[in-house]
Amino acid sequence: MKALFTLMIVVGSFSFFAQAQGAAKQAEVLIKTEVFCNHCDHCESCKPRIETALFEITGVKQAKLNIETQTIKVVYNPKKTTENEIKEAVLKSGYSADGVQPTAEAYGKLDGCCKRK
């Protein structure tokens, strides 16, 4: 009985520490952006362009553009990437990130419908 109790404590401790380590491997950032077309959820341009650029970064687990709120929610592993690398990927895809505008070259690669009118 004593051995069973000890085993339960060891297994319980292991589970607790495994969960604690898993939580440390995930962070979330919400980036404010600007999307100028009104059909991004339905076309093959803005939304896929941004999300694909983010998924190319090692450590990005989720990336979702919300057209209504003009935000990009990114879940990532902070041991593999940083917020700055994530924002840089958004800028390189031609879109703004938290008030920073993309280069003219990156913006120029956007489809016409995705540019400011």
CATH of the domain at 97: 3.30.70.100
> Which pLDDT does position 76 carry in this prediction?
98
Task: With H, G, I as helix, E, B as strand and everything else as coil, classify residue 12.
Answer: helix
The predicted-structure confidence for 23-54, as pLDDT tens digits, reads as follows 568 999 999 999 887 665 556 677 888 999 99
Helix, strand, coil abundance in the chain, percent, nearest 5: 45, 20, 40
Instruction: Tell me the pLDDT band of 8, cut-offs 50, 70 and 90.
Output: very low
Q: State the residue range of the domain holding 74.
A: 27-114
The predicted-structure confidence for 67-113, as pLDDT tens digits, reads as follows 889 999 999 999 999 999 999 999 999 999 999 999 999 999 988 87
> Which pLDDT does position 19 carry in this prediction?
54
Q: Is the dihedral of CA 39, 41, 44, 45 positive or negative?
A: positive
Report the relative pairing of strands 60-66 and 27-32 from DSSP bridges. unpaired
**To 10 degrees, the CA torsion angle through 68, 71, 75, 79?**
180
Those residues whose C-beta lies under 8 Å from the C-beta of residue 18, and which sit 6 or more positions away, are none
Q: Does 96 reside within a domain?
A: yes
Give CA separation, 108 vs 55, 98, 100, in Å. 22, 19, 16
> Which pLDDT does position 35 carry in this prediction?
85
> Which pLDDT does position 41 carry in this prediction?
57
Q: Does 68 reside within a domain?
A: yes
> Which pLDDT does position 9 carry in this prediction?
53
Q: Is the dihedral of CA 76, 82, 85, 86 positive or negative?
A: positive
Q: What is the mean predicted confidence (pLDDT) over 14-28?
A: 64
Into how many domains does the chain fold?
1
